[in-house]
Structure 1
Amino acid sequence: MHDGERPWLTELRALFPNDRVSTNPTVLEQHSHDESYHPPHFPDAVVFPESTEEVARLLRFANARRIPVIPFGVGSSLEGHVVPVRGGISLDLTRMNRILDVRPADFLVHVEAGMTRTALNRALARHGLFFSVDPGADATLGGMAATNASGTTAVRYGVMRDQVRGMTVVLADGRVIRLGGPYVKSSSGYDLKQLFLGSEGTLGVITSLWLRVFGLPEAAYAARATFPSVRQAVEAAHAMLRYGLALARVELVDRTSIRQMNAMKGTTYPEADTLFLEFHGSPAALEADLPAAEAIARDGGGTAFEIEREKEARDRLWEARHHLAYAYLHAHPGKKQLVTDVCVPLSVLADGIELARRELEARGLEGGVLGHIGDGNFHTIVMIDADDPADVARAEGLHEALVRYALSVGGTATGEHGVGLGKLKYQAEEHGEALSLMQAIKRLLDPAGILNPGKKIPLPPDESTG
C-alpha cells in the first residue's frame, strides 16, 4: 500500500510540467513491480523525463534530499530490478524514445534509452540493418544495457556489452558524462562505459546509446531437432558449434516446456527435448550447412530434424519460444514465476541441466528447463504461489542448488537477467574480495545511496537511503 504523499512532492511538481509527475494509484501500481515473483512496493511518485537535462534536474533534486530513484523501462525484468523497495521516485524513461542518428556506413545507430528493440528494428529495416540482441521481451534499450541483456542470438552476435560503442550517463549528483562514441576501438583513458553496462541503475542513469548494428542476413533458415534426452540435445548442439556451422541461435526447450508451448500457441511440436536452431548466411552456404546439422543431430541420437525456410514458419517458431514463460503463466493461473539464470562452462552444461530437472521433480515443483545452450546459459522456469511461504521456499531452494552448482564449476549466478533482488545474497560468494571494490565504486559514484537502493551489490543497511 502507498502511505500517502511526501512533503517534497510539491517541490518536485514545480520542476516539471503537470503531466510529467504522477501519483495516480494506477500509475504507481504499474511501477511497483516487474515480471518476477518479488513482492511489489509502490513508489511515491513516477516522473516521465523527456531529455537528458530533465533526468539531470531530477537527480540533482533527489540527491540533495536523499530520495531513492529507480530507473524504469517497460518493467520486463525478472529479478525485481525496478521494484522501489524503499519508495521514492520511479524514473520512467519511455518518453525518451527517439532515434538520434543512423549511420549505415558505420553500422551504428544513436538512440535514446527509452526506445524498445522492436521499434528500433522496424526503423533499421529500411536501411537493410538490424540490432541483434533479442532477449525475447520487447525491452527498452537502456534497460537492456543496464542489465547487460543477452538472449537467443548471443551465440553468433554477442551480448549487449558487445554492441554498445558509447553512452550518455547521468550520475547521482546530476553530472552528465559521455563515454565512448561512434568509433570501433580506443585505448584512451579507462573504459568507464563497461562499468555502467550491467550496473542495473545503481551507478548512474543511461539516457542514450551508440549501438552497433548488422546487415540483414541474405538468408535465414530455422530447424527443430528432437532428442530422447537433454544430454543428447546439448551434446549435438556443441558438435554443431565445433563444426563451424552458421548458427545464429541454438536454443534448448525441454519436453515439459514443449507441452506448455503446444497448449498455449496451438503448435503440434513433438513432446520431446528439442533444439530450436537458426542459421544466417547466403542461401548456398545454408543449403550446405543444413544437411551437416541434420547429420550431426541424427548421429547424436536425434529422432527428427524439421527445416523451416519460410519466414512465416520461422516467426511462428521463435514466437512460441519467446512466449514460453507466458505459456507457463497461462497454464498456472494465479501463480508467478521464479526463473533461474545460471551460466556454466559448456563442458558441464548437460550436468547442470540434468540437475535442474532432478531438482524440479524431487521438490515437487512445476516447471521446465530451457536455455541458450550455445553459450552455456540455461533457465529453469518454476511456477510458485507467491502467497505460500512453503512453495516459495521450495523454489528458492532449487534456485540455490543451481547457483551453488554453477559457482562450484566456475560459472556465475546470472548469465543475463542480472542480480536485482533475486541474486543479491550470492554476490559475496561469487566475487569474494572483489565485492569490496564494487562496494567502494558504489560509494564513490553514489555516496547518498539514492540510485536503485537495495539492488545489485549488498551494502550495510546504514549505507542505503531509508
Structure 2
Amino acid sequence: MNHPAPPAVGRRPLPPALLDALRAAFGERVSTSDAVRTHHGRDESPFDPQLPDAVVFAHSADDVRQVVSLCALHGVPLIPYGAGSSLEGHLLAVRGGVSLDLSDMNRVLSIDAEDLTVTVEPGITRKALNDALRDTGLFFPIDPGADASIGGMTATRASGTNAVRYGTMRENVLGLTAVLADGRVVKTGTRARKSSAGYDLTRLFVGSEGTLGVITEITLRLHPLPEAVSAAICAFPSMGDAVRTVIETIQLGVPIARVEFVDALAIRAINRHSNMTLAEAPTLFFEFHGTEAGVKEQVELVESLAAQHGGQDFEWATRPEDRSRLWAARHNAYFAMLQLKPGCRSVTTDVCVPISRLADCVVETDADLRASSLPCPIVGHVGDGNFHVAILVDPAKPEELDEAERINERIVERALRMGGTCTGEHGVGLHKMRFLEKEHGEAAVDTMRAIKLALDPRNLMNPGKIFKC
C-alpha cells in the first residue's frame, strides 16, 4: 500500500455510448485493459494508483479535439498524459474518466533558427527535442532531470538545473495552442519576443496542470550553444558553507549556468548507483557557459568564493563525455536515492525561498531530517533557491507515511514563513493542495477557482487537482 489518494468523489462508470464513440473514431488506439489503465493511473508520487476507465492514444491535434468534445458531450473527466514522470499525483484519475496519452504527438513542427524559436507537439521529450536541434547551433535549456515531455513541462511550469541562467518554462514558452473543455481551440502568444496585447493567456496555461485544457502545440524560445562549457564539483565542510557559496555567487551576479547542491547522503547513493568515488560530503555541482574568457573569469571568481567557505579543490570535467557522466549521475540521483532503502517509496517534496534565506532554510531543514528515523537525502537547484527532499518510506508502514507528511509540512511551512513557495517546480497536483491557500490567501485561490470554472464549468479537465471545485 502506498499513500492513500483522496476519495474518488463523484466517480461514475464510463458511459457505454462514449466508449462506443471513441472506439468508432480511434479503433485500437482506445484501451480498457488493466495493464494500460494501470500504467496511466500511477506516477512517481507516493499515492495509490487511481486508474482511468479508458486510455486513448492521440496522434494529432484533431484527435485531441475529438476526444475532448466527446468527453464534454458525455460529461466525462479527461486527464492529459505525457511521460508519466509527475511527482505530485497530477496524472491520477481520482474521478475516473479518460486518460488522453499525448506521447505519440512528438513532432517538431518548425524550427525558426533566425528567430531562435521552435514549435513542437506536446509529446516530444526534452532530449528528443535537443537531438532534433543538434545541427542548428541552438538548444532548449530547461532540464528538470527526468526526460519529461514538453507538454508536461509546460503544464507544470517546470524548471531544473539550468534555470538559474536560462529561466523556467514560464520564460521560455512564447505561445501555445490548447483545446478547451468544450472542444474549442485557443491559440495564445506569437513568435514575437514580447507583446502587450490583452491578457497573457500563455502564462495562464503554463502551470495549469491540465485543469484548463489540453495543450496541443507549443512555441519555445531557443538559446545559442555556448562557445565554452566547463563543469566541476566541490565538496564543503557543511551544508551551510556550500549554500552560502551559492548565495554569494548569485548576489555578485556571476552568470553561472548550473549550480546544484547534493548532501552527503545523496552523494553516498550516487556513488553506489553510478559507480563513482565522490567525497561523501555536502557537494556543489557547477557548470559554466560562455566564451573562453568569460568562463575562465567565472571559474576564478567562484573558486575564490568556495575557498572562503572551506570548499575543497574543484574536480573538473572538461571533456564532453566527462560532463555527461557527471550530470547523468546528478540526474539519476532520484533513482539512486531509492536504493538507499530497498522496496521504499519516496515522499518527495520541493520548496523554493528567496536566495537570501536559502542557507537558513536548508540548515534548519537538515536539522529536522537528522531528527527523523527515515533516510531523507537533499538535492537542489540552489542557484534559484529551490531544493528537494526525498523522504524514503516503507509503503507497508502507515506510521512512516505519517512521519513523512509531518516532515513535508514542516519544510513547506518553513519555506512559506521565509517568503517562499510550497513548490518551486513539481507543481501542486494532489500533494500540495492543502498548502495553496496558506501561500496565496483565500481571495487568490478563489480567483483561480473562478478562472477554472469559467473555462471548465463542469470541472471535467483533470478534476481534483490544484484546488477543490
TM-score range, shorter chain: over 0.9
Structure 1 residue 334: deviation in Å?
Answer: 1.5
Alpha-carbon distance in structure 1 between the residues aligned to 2:452 and 2:78:
15
Alpha-carbon distance in structure 2 between the residues aligned to 1:422 and 1:438:
18
For residue 97 of structure 1, the aligned residue among 96, 106, 122 is 106
For residue 447 of structure 2, the aligned residue among 437, 456, 462 is 437
Alpha-carbon distance in structure 2 between the residues aligned to 1:3 and 1:447:
18
SS in 2 for 1:90: strand
Aligned position for 2:412: 403
Does residue 185 (structure 1) correspond to residue 194 (structure 2)? The answer is: yes
Q: Percent identity?
A: 48
Matches within 5 A, 1:297-308: 297-308=306-317
Name the amino acid aligned to 1:446: D
Structure 1 residue 365: deviation in Å?
Answer: 1.3
Alpha-carbon distance in structure 2 between the residues aligned to 1:151 and 1:90:
26
Structure 1 residue 410: deviation in Å?
Answer: 1.2
Structure 1 residue 355: deviation in Å?
Answer: 2.1
Matches within 5 A, 1:188-227: 188-227=197-236
SS in 2 for 1:341: strand
Alpha-carbon distance in structure 2 between the residues aligned to 1:160 and 1:271:
33
SS in 2 for 1:337: strand
Does residue 347 (structure 1) correspond to residue 361 (structure 2)? The answer is: no
Please identify, of 328-337 and 60-69, the stretch whose mean Cα deviation from structure 2 is larger. 328-337
Aligned position for 2:184: 175
* Contact 2:15–2:74, Cα closer than 8 Å, also in 1: no
For residue 449 of structure 1, the aligned residue among 447, 453, 459 is 459
Aligned position for 1:361: 370
Structure 1 residue 394: deviation in Å?
Answer: 0.2
Aligned position for 2:161: 152
Matches within 5 A, 1:307-386: 307-386=316-395
Please identify, of 253-262 and 347-356, the stretch whose mean Cα deviation from structure 2 is larger. 347-356
Structure 1 residue 121: deviation in Å?
Answer: 0.1
Alpha-carbon distance in structure 2 between the residues aligned to 1:244 and 1:306:
23
Matches within 5 A, 1:190-269: 190-269=199-278
Alpha-carbon distance in structure 1 between the residues aligned to 2:329 and 2:91:
27
* Contact 1:246–1:286, Cα closer than 8 Å, also in 2: no
* Contact 1:227–1:304, Cα closer than 8 Å, also in 2: no
Please identify, of 128-137 and 339-348, the stretch whose mean Cα deviation from structure 2 is larger. 339-348
TM-score, normalised on structure 1?
0.96
- CA displacement, residues 227-265 of structure 1 (integer Å, 9 cap, x when unaligned): 111111011112222333331001100111100100111
- CA displacement, residues 77-103 of structure 1 (integer Å, 9 cap, x when unaligned): 100000111111001001111111000
Does residue 418 (structure 1) correspond to residue 450 (structure 2)? The answer is: no
Name the amino acid aligned to 2:450: A
Alpha-carbon distance in structure 1 between the residues aligned to 2:354 and 2:98:
40
SS in 2 for 1:374: helix
SS in 2 for 1:304: coil
- The alignment covers a number of residue pairs equal to 459
Name the amino acid aligned to 1:198: G
Structure 1 residue 434: deviation in Å?
Answer: 0.7
Alpha-carbon distance in structure 2 between the residues aligned to 1:174 and 1:82:
21
Structure 1 residue 11: deviation in Å?
Answer: 2.5
* Contact 2:82–2:123, Cα closer than 8 Å, also in 1: yes
For residue 391 of structure 1, the aligned residue among 372, 377, 400 is 400
Aligned position for 2:285: 276
Structure 1 residues 285 and 109, CA gap change in structure 2 (3 angstroms)? same
- CA displacement, residues 336-391 of structure 1 (integer Å, 9 cap, x when unaligned): 11111111111111111122222222221112111111111111111112232111
Structure 1 residue 313: deviation in Å?
Answer: 1.1
Structure 1 residue 303: deviation in Å?
Answer: 2.4
Does residue 111 (structure 1) correspond to residue 137 (structure 2)? The answer is: no
* Contact 2:18–2:70, Cα closer than 8 Å, also in 1: no
Structure 1 residue 439: deviation in Å?
Answer: 0.8
Structure 1 residue 13: deviation in Å?
Answer: 3.0
Does residue 135 (structure 1) correspond to residue 144 (structure 2)? The answer is: yes
Structure 1 residue 6: deviation in Å?
Answer: 4.7
* Contact 2:379–2:387, Cα closer than 8 Å, also in 1: yes
Alpha-carbon distance in structure 1 between the residues aligned to 2:240 and 2:19:
60
Alpha-carbon distance in structure 2 between the residues aligned to 1:387 and 1:345:
37
TM-score, normalised on structure 2?
0.95
Compute the RMSD of aligned alpha carbons.
Answer: 1.6
Structure 1 residue 407: deviation in Å?
Answer: 1.1
- CA displacement, residues 289-344 of structure 1 (integer Å, 9 cap, x when unaligned): 22222111111211232122111111111111110010012232221111111111
Matches within 5 A, 1:16-95: 16-95=25-104
For residue 468 of structure 2, the aligned residue among 448, 451, 458 is 458
* Contact 2:12–2:96, Cα closer than 8 Å, also in 1: no
Name the amino acid aligned to 1:111: V
Structure 1 residue 15: deviation in Å?
Answer: 4.3
SS in 2 for 1:221: strand
